[in-house]
Chains A and B, each alone.
Chain A
Amino acid sequence: MNPNLNLLIGLAMGLNLLSLGTSRLPALIRTMAAQGVILGVMPVMMEHEHDWRVVLIALATIAGKGLVIPSLLRRAMRTAQIDRELDPLIGFVPSLLLGAGGAIAALALAHLLPLLPEHADTLLVPGALATVLTGFILLIGRTKAISQVCGYLILENGIYLFGLLLIKAMPLLVEAGVLLDLTVGVFIIGIIVDRIQRAFDSLDTRKLTALRE
């Protein structure tokens, strides 16, 4: 449909792989923020006539995903004094290969889905599938609470990409509500992270599985 849109989605998919391959928490947060900004630009590129509501949503998305959420996460990281290395359950190379395999599978299998003809030749559906998969890998494969939050946010980015398919049908209010929920969620998680850090002296979520008196 739109080569520029496909380029942006390709960039977002590249950032997926970068987030899987990086071993530092600040780099992961930066990657996620960049992906949020790219996703924010997309609705403006999709619509030919620039409705003010679309522009508003784009600005809100860029501000929320690109600035507010990353700065909240960075603050949580600073106050909890987490050390910046991620320790992975699934190693970096295997998770990178899993993510790439998922992206290729999504690209190869997307045309089997019953899509509308105007969506058939965009990368939206494979990009969304690959991003959701990346989010899952990060959620499963990393032990630090903040990196799991990043995984969750990337998962949400994938769902947002799916939402772009329905941009004409879905009220923008829904997207705005999701964005608000997300920001509040990250805000709360920031507080919880601080609590976990104080109670356990570590953010390793494996310690939360054992039940004690």
Chain B
Amino acid sequence: MIPILEFLLRLACWLLVAPLLPGVINRVKSLVAGRRGPPVLQLYYDLARLWRKDVVMSNLASPAFVILPAVAWVALAGATLLVPLGPAGAGLSFRGDVLLFIYLLALGRFCTAWAAMETGSAFEGMGAVREVSYAVLAEAAMIAGILSLCVQTGSVTLATMLVPTAGASAVLLAAGWFIVLLAENCRVPFDDPNTHLELTMIHEAMVLDHSGPPLAVILHGAALKLLLFAVVLTQAVVPLGYFGSRGACALLVTGVLLVAAGVGLVESLLARFAFRRVPLLLTGAFLLCLFALLVAWKGGAA
């Protein structure tokens, strides 16, 4: 009984905390710009409002239009269970779960892109194409980073891979994964979450025709993904294992907040890149992770 309770508690914790992170980012952005900005809990209000609304469906779309966002959300929620939370460990952990983690993220993206193309709208197709073509490059960087952690710890389980490591490659990995985080979550140098010009949107263009609960699920899934990346990034860089359980928890929370603040600062200080320059930056992220892998490999050999 108790393990099930703990499992549910953990899931609830992930789901409830996730919408906080975009609020924190917006607060940092408004502070830098000298505005008052929306309340930190704005996304909760938005989700509640969307949840009460009806779904508008195109008569071209199949039922998959409603089902796929839910599948994507479940995939992301499942991925959160695999990620260890500092001293608390992971909800689910087995040998090779890092592969499942990568594939769940990919499944989430695939479902969102498919749902976007259901309506047959040109803008959504364009958004899906852009999202997937960036993801190809971002995923290469992500996998190179994960390989470097695997080589460093000699383990393929997320729980033992993430917690105790902070080698020489941590700096390279942090820089590479931060760029991946920005790309995967459609933040500023790649995509502007506030833009409403269809020609330049990526993620927002993809979800243009969704409404009501499916849109709420997509928004919540995006927040969940951001939290997921922030937690993984923090744990891959900060050696939480050396601190006591309370210190590790505090460090984890600080790390996630710092990542959010970093995203907010990047968003306030940088303009988004032209589309043709994006592959260059993502290749840079891939190379950073690749060199982290190289350092881990060479460091292990010497």
Q: Return chain A residues, CB-CB under 8 Å to B290.
A: 100, 104
Please, how many residues of chain B have a CB less than 8 angstroms from a CB on the other chain?
Answer: 11
- Evaluate contact between A92 and B287: CB separation under 8 angstroms: no
Chain A, interface residues (CB within 8 Å), range = 10 to 19
Decide if A93 is an interface residue (CB 8 Å cutoff). Answer: yes
- Evaluate contact between A100 and B287: CB separation under 8 angstroms: yes
Q: Return chain A residues, CB-CB under 8 Å to B298.
A: 107
Q: Which of A23, A96, A97 has the most CB of B within 10 A?
A: A96
- Evaluate contact between B283 and A104: CB separation under 8 angstroms: no
Q: Return chain A residues, CB-CB under 8 Å to B283.
A: 21, 93, 96-97
Tell me the bound Cα distance from A52 to B287 in angstroms: 40
Distance in angstroms from B253 CB to nearest chain A CB is: 31
Distance in angstroms from B61 CB to nearest chain A CB is: 37
- Evaluate contact between B294 and A104: CB separation under 8 angstroms: yes
Question: A107-B294, A107-B298, A121-B302 given as contacts; is B279 within 8 A of A93 (CB)?
Answer: yes
- Evaluate contact between A17 and B287: CB separation under 8 angstroms: yes
Q: Which of B280, B294, B302 contacts A21 (CB 8 A)?
A: B280
Tell me the bound Cα distance from A107 to B297 in angstroms: 11
Q: Return chain A residues, CB-CB under 8 Å to B284.
A: 17, 21, 96
The residue of chain B having its C-beta at the shortest distance from the C-beta of A96 within the complex is B283
Q: Return chain B residues, CB-CB under 8 Å to A104.
A: 290, 294
Q: Return chain B residues, CB-CB under 8 Å to A21.
A: 280, 283-284
State the total of A-B contacts with C-beta under 8 angstroms: 25
Tell me the bound Cα distance from A13 to B115 in angstroms: 44
- Evaluate contact between A93 and B280: CB separation under 8 angstroms: yes
Distance in angstroms from B273 CB to nearest chain A CB is: 11
Tell me the bound Cα distance from A23 to B283 in angstroms: 14
Q: Return chain B residues, CB-CB under 8 Å to A23.
A: 277, 280
Distance in angstroms from B106 CB to nearest chain A CB is: 23
Distance in angstroms from A52 CB to nearest chain B CB is: 34
Question: A17-B287, A100-B287, A107-B294 given as contacts; is B280 within 8 A of A92 (CB)?
Answer: yes
Tell me the bound Cα distance from A23 to B274 in angstroms: 13
Q: Return chain B residues, CB-CB under 8 Å to A100.
A: 287, 290-291
Q: Which of B283, B290, B298 has the most CB of A within 10 A?
A: B283
Tell me the bound Cα distance from A104 to B298 in angstroms: 11
Tell me the bound Cα distance from A191 to B279 in angstroms: 37
Tell me the bound Cα distance from A104 to B287 in angstroms: 10
| A residues 95-128 touching B (CB-CB < 8 Å) | 96-97, 100, 104, 107, 121
The residue of chain B having its C-beta at the shortest distance from the C-beta of A18 within the complex is B284
- The proximity string for B residues 269-302 relative to A, scoring 1 for CB distances below 8 Å and 0 otherwise, is 0000000010110011001001100100010001
Tell me the bound Cα distance from A17 to B283 in angstroms: 11
Tell me the bound Cα distance from A100 to B279 in angstroms: 15
Q: Return chain B residues, CB-CB under 8 Å to A93.
A: 279-280, 283
- Evaluate contact between B294 and A96: CB separation under 8 angstroms: no
| A residues 51-83 touching B (CB-CB < 8 Å) | none
Q: Return chain A residues, CB-CB under 8 Å to B279.
A: 93
- The proximity string for B residues 214-242 relative to A, scoring 1 for CB distances below 8 Å and 0 otherwise, is 00000000000000000000000000000
| A residues 1-33 touching B (CB-CB < 8 Å) | 14, 17, 21, 23
Tell me the bound Cα distance from A93 to B284 in angstroms: 9
Tell me the bound Cα distance from A107 to B295 in angstroms: 10
Tell me the bound Cα distance from A96 to B287 in angstroms: 9
Q: Return chain B residues, CB-CB under 8 Å to A107.
A: 294, 298
The residue of chain B having its C-beta at the shortest distance from the C-beta of A91 within the complex is B280
Tell me the bound Cα distance from A121 to B298 in angstroms: 10
Tell me the bound Cα distance from A23 to B287 in angstroms: 17
Q: Return chain A residues, CB-CB under 8 Å to B294.
A: 104, 107
Distance in angstroms from B53 CB to nearest chain A CB is: 43
The residue of chain A having its C-beta at the shortest distance from the C-beta of B302 within the complex is A121
Distance in angstroms from B167 CB to nearest chain A CB is: 13
Q: Which of B279, B280, B290 has the most CB of A within 10 A?
A: B280
Q: Return chain A residues, CB-CB under 8 Å to B287.
A: 17, 96, 100
Q: Which residues of A contact B (CB under 8 A)?
A: 14, 17, 21, 23, 92-93, 96-97, 100, 104, 107, 121
Can you identify 14 A-B contacts, CB atoms within 8 angstroms?
A14-B291, A21-B280, A21-B284, A23-B277, A23-B280, A92-B280, A93-B279, A93-B280, A96-B287, A100-B287, A100-B290, A100-B291, A104-B290, A121-B302
Known: A93-B280, A93-B283. 16 other contacts (CB 8 A): A21-B283, A23-B277, A23-B280, A93-B279, A96-B280, A96-B283, A96-B284, A97-B283, A100-B287, A100-B290, A100-B291, A104-B290, A104-B294, A107-B294, A107-B298, A121-B302
Shortest beta-carbon contacts, A-B, top 9: A100-B287, A93-B283, A92-B280, A96-B283, A93-B279, A93-B280, A21-B280, A21-B284, A17-B287
